[in-house]
């Protein structure tokens, strides 16, 4: 008998949810940066473990939202946990129980008892092992976790064990996706995310949080390659200059890095064209949210 189900990964921004998703899937389906609030919507990555198909739901980090976009992101994250068969809370080993973690624990009480919630202490490569025991105890005193795992999503420590445990917790039933499917996100969105990742890594301060990337056009060519046109929306004229960079250097290197990654994902040649548009109010436009895979109304106060 096969098993299948959803496993939501939740936690503070930067906890390593997307890194863990990619590790479990064995391919990069969700973008990763060293900055907080990288993931903006729910990203589904599909992994196989024996007879089980585990659909990992990577979610935006949970934080105190200020803007409409923040509220929509946080709503998407909690929604992911509410719909999942199993939820895994990621906590960073070296940061321990922060205020943010405290608030997530309170939120977990709210999404209902009787749910399977596991704890994964991530980034164990960053701390001495003695610290982990007391952190495990403190967290389990605050919430009744079904199990605690100590992992390094980046290095792959403990992740196989976690995967096996999760597979055993899923309900019996047919697989939800074809055997060879690894992601459930339109290709145009994956391609836009890859460009946003490269931009986020290059840009500083608030700029990554004030831009969005959309695939506007996707054209299959006879020679097997694809022409992809994307728009980078920014909020101010000055931002446009920064994204372009001196003599267009920044956008050129972003475009090259993004193209290479999209090509690797697709396994064929890509011609990527990026255009920067100033759109002061994009954070309040419903269409931008649906393009991101978010619900605009979730951002209502």
Ligand X SMILES: Nc1nc2c(ncn2[C@@H]2O[C@H](COP(=O)(O)OP(=O)(O)OP(=O)(O)O)[C@@H](O)[C@H]2O)c(=O)[nH]1
The sign of the CA dihedral 226, 271, 236, 63 is positive
With CB under 6 A as the contact rule, which of the stretches 122-130, 169-177, 181-189, 270-278 interacts with ligand X? 122-130
CA distance 199 to 197: 5
Size of the site for ligand X (CB under 6 A): 25
Q: Is 152 in the site for ligand X (CB under 6 A)?
A: yes
Interface pick for ligand X out of 10, 19, 166, 203 (rule CB under 6 A): 19
Binding partner selected for residue 34 from ligand X, Mg ion, none, CB under the kind-specific 5 to 8 Å limit: ligand X
- 290: number of Cβ within 10 Å: 11
Interface pick for ligand X out of 8, 10, 32, 258 (rule CB under 6 A): 32
Q: Which residues are annotated as a binding site for GTP?
A: 11-18, 58-62, 122-125
Buried b (16+ CB within 10 A) or exposed e, 76-103: bbbbbbeebbbbbbbbbbebeeeebbee
Q: Is 125 in the site for ligand X (CB under 6 A)?
A: yes
Q: Running DSSP on this structure, what letter comes out for residue 61?
A: P
Q: Is 13 in the site for ligand X (CB under 6 A)?
A: yes
What separation in angstroms does the CA of 273 have from each of 59, 218, 254? 28, 10, 11
Site string for Mg ion, 1-40 (x = CB under 5 A): ----------------xx-------------------xx-
**Phi, psi dihedrals of residue 219, rounded to the nearest 5°:** -125, 125
What separation in angstroms does the CA of 294 have from each of 195, 256, 278, 285, 288? 18, 28, 21, 12, 9
Residue 19 in tokens: 């890194």
Segment 160 to 219, residues that bind ligand X, using CB under 6 A: none
CB of 97 to Mg ion, least distance (A): 21
Site string for ligand X, 74-113 (x = CB under 6 A): ----------------------------------------
Binding site for ligand X (CB under 6 A): 11, 13-19, 32-34, 36-39, 60-61, 122-123, 125-126, 152-155
């Amino acid at each position: 008998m096969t098993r299948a189900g959803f496993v939501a990964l939740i936690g503070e921004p930067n906890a390593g949810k997307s890194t863990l998703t990619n590790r479990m899937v064995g391919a990069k389906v969700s973008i990763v940066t060293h900055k907080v609030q990288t993931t903006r919507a729910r990203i589904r990555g599909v992994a196989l473990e024996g007879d089980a198909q585990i659909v990992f739901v990577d979610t935006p980090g949970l934080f105190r939202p200020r803007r409409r976009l923040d509220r929509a992101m946080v709503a998407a994250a909690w929604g992911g946990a509410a719909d999942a068969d199993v939820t895994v809370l990621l906590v960073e080993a070296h940061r321990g129980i922060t205020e943010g973690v405290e608030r997530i624990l309170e939120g977990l009480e709210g999404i209902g008892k009787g749910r399977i919630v596991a704890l994964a202490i991530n980034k164990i490569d960053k701390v001495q092992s003695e610290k982990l025991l007391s952190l495990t105890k403190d967290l389990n005193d605050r919430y009744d976790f079904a199990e605690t795992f100590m992992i390094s999503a980046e290095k792959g420590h403990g992740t196989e064990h976690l995967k096996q445990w999760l597979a055993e917790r899923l309900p019996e039933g047919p697989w939800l996706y074809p055997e060879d499917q690894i992601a459930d996100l339109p290709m145009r969105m994956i391609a836009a995310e890859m460009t946003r990742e490269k931009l986020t890594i290059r840009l500083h301060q608030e700029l990554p949080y004030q831009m969005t990337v959309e695939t506007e056009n996707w054209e299959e060519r006879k020679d097997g390659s694809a022409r992809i046109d994307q728009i980078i929306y920014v909020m101010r004229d000055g931002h446009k200059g920064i994204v372009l960079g001196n003599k267009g250097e920044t956008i050129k290197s972003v475009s090259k890095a993004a193209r290479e990654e999209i090509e690797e994902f697709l396994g064929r040649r890509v011609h990527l064209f990026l255009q920067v548009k100033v759109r002061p109010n994009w954070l309040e436009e419903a269409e931008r949210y649906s393009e991101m895979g978010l619900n605009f109304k979730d951002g209502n106060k």
